[in-house]
Every structure is written in C-alpha cells, then in structure tokens.
C-alpha cells in the first residue's frame, strides 16, 4: 500500500517533507499487512484445503488495520514536529467611526473639512437661537459644524463653550480651534479658526462669514482660544 494519496496541507508552515520515521512506519505497516495476508491465506482464518478467497469480512479487517496504522503514523509525525494549526492573525481594531473621526488628522485635513462645510453655510443670516440654514447664531453655527464634520457634540451656548477643551495661546492656534471674543456690542462671541489668522463665524451683520483676527476690530475684541480636537 503506497502513500501517494497523502498530501501535506497547503499552508507553508505544514509544507514540510514527511519525516523518515513516518516512511518507516508506512513500510512497517505494509510489511505487517503482507504478513497478515500470508497468515490469513495459509489457512489460520479459513479452511486449509479450500481455495483462498478475499471475503468481504477479510477486506473490512484489512481496511480497518490499514487505517489504524496510518493514523498512528500521522500522529507520531505530528508529535515529533510539534505541528499545530497556524496562529490566527489578530486584526488590530481600527478606529470606530460613528461619523467623521478627527483622530490623527493633519491640520490641512481639518482645515479642508471645515472649509467644505463652511461653503454650505456661507451667507446664512444671523438669527438669535437659530440652528439651521434659515438662520443661525454664533454658537449654533459652531455646534452644527462640529457635529456634522467631526461627529463631536459641543455645548450649544457660548457660555458653556468657554469651559470645553484646553485653553491655548493665540500664537499656537491650529485649524479647528475655537476663538472667543468680547466685542463692544455683545458680551461673548465664538468662531472657528481656519488658519492664516482667519476664522469663520456668524456675524450679526453679514451672517456666516470669514473674518481676519488681525483686523483692528477683532484684534481688540480677542479674548481667548480653546482646543477641542485631538
């Protein structure tokens, strides 16, 4: 009985030449089977004077012994080589996104995302307590933009926004930082820094617009800055 029907698994960790001990086991099994057929043919399991036939019972006995020897040989081979299933590759959990994630985004990416959303709001008129394209106030615009772009729920009022994130110096501003002002006309005002000393906000006169922090008006009204993005 040959071993041509036995193939090592396709995985590279298993694709090893069969051990010599395994071949010796097969040879031993073959010789044992030959001896068994000789014994059975000589009449130990049948009439000595009858013509030797391969009865169904005899075939089943030979097949059972053959399978047993093959299983023992394979078990011995695996034990010698410590074969085990290849380790499963752990997939590192990717960042879960319930919306648009801000983790590890560059300043350029943040500025681009903010600008794309800003274009949808540009020119929207100012409306105290407004929260949509029909009219929006300064904190409402900030609240909507961070929710839509970064899936970040910020407080709705300017009074609450001054307590979120980390306070930073004006000289270390990055796109996405919140900038706060104390204009002469109202006590608090908030906008979003987009780079190059520019910020977007809702003006009482121009609606959603872009302004320059270095302009005389906003430079004097500047109060503080806070970072809420990682």
CA geometry: angle 189, 195, 200, nearest 5 deg: 35
Cα torsion at 47, 53, 59, 60 (round to 10°)?
A: -40
* Listed residue (105, 123, 104) closest to 114, CA to CA: 105
Q: For residues 42 and 200, give the distance between their C-alpha atoms in angstroms, rounded to a whole number.
A: 103
Q: Find the catalytic residue in 81, 82, 171, 201.
A: 201
Q: Which of 46, 138, 159, 172 is catalytic?
A: 138
Spatial distance between the Cα atoms of 182 and 218, rounded to a whole number of angstroms: 9
- 138 annotated active-site: yes
Instruction: Give the bridge partners for 227, in sequence order.
Output: 166
115 part of the active site: no
**Catalytic residue status for 189:** yes
The CA-to-CA distance between both ends of the chain, in Å, stands at: 69
Which residues are known to be catalytic? 138, 189, 201
């Amino acid at each position: 009985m040959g071993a041509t029907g036995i193939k090592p698994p396709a995985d590279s960790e298993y694709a090893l030449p069969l051990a010599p001990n395994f071949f010796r086991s097969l040879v031993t099994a073959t010789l044992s089977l030959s001896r068994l057929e000789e014994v059975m043919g000589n009449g130990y399991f049948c009439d000595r004077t009858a013509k030797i036939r391969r009865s169904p019972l005899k075939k089943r006995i030979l097949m059972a012994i053959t399978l047993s020897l093959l299983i023992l040989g394979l078990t011995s081979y695996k034990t010698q080589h410590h074969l085990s299933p290849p380790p499963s590759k752990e997939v590192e959990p990717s960042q879960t996104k319930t919306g648009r994630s801000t983790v590890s985004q560059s300043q350029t990416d943040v500025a681009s995302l903010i600008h794309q959303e800003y274009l949808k709001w540009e020119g929207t008129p100012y409306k105290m307590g407004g929260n949509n394209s029909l009219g929006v106030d300064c904190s409402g615009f900030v609240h909507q933009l961070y929710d839509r772009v970064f899936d970040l729920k910020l407080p709705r009022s300017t009074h609450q926004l001054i307590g979120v994130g980390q306070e930073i110096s004006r000289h270390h501003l990055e796109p996405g930082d919140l900038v706060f002002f104390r204009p002469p006309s109202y006590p608090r005002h908030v906008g979003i820094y987009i780079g190059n000393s520019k910020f977007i906000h809702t003006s009482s006169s121009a609606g959603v617009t872009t302004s320059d922090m270095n302009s005389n008006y906003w430079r004097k009204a500047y109060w503080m800055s806070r970072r809420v993005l990682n």
